[in-house]
Amino acid sequence: MSSTDIGFDIGIGVRFPVAEKTRLFIELNGQSGDSDVLKDNTGSPLRNSVSSVNIGLAF
């Protein structure tokens, strides 16, 4: 396994007021690695990636 992974992260979110001190939030986030995670890989590169949707309350 390679000890270093370089990549990027992008996200967007919005908050909606639902009460005086409470907000509903919705967030979309994506992360992608640019480095091959296998150290001596001779085939196609294997990279890390994740996508997420977060919904919650902030108070």
- Size (the chain), residues: 59
pTM (2 d.p.): 0.68
Those residues with Cβ within 8 angstroms of residue 18's Cβ, 6 or more apart along the chain or in another chain: 24, 57
**Cβ distance 46 to 37 under 8 Å?**
yes
Structure confidence by residue, pLDDT tens digits, 13-56: 999 999 999 999 999 999 999 888 888 888 898 899 999 999 99
Q: Which amino acid is at 38?
A: L
**Cβ distance 30 to 51 under 8 Å?**
yes
Q: In what order do the strands lie in the sheet with 7-19?
A: 7-19, 22-33, 49-58
Return the pLDDT at 14: 98
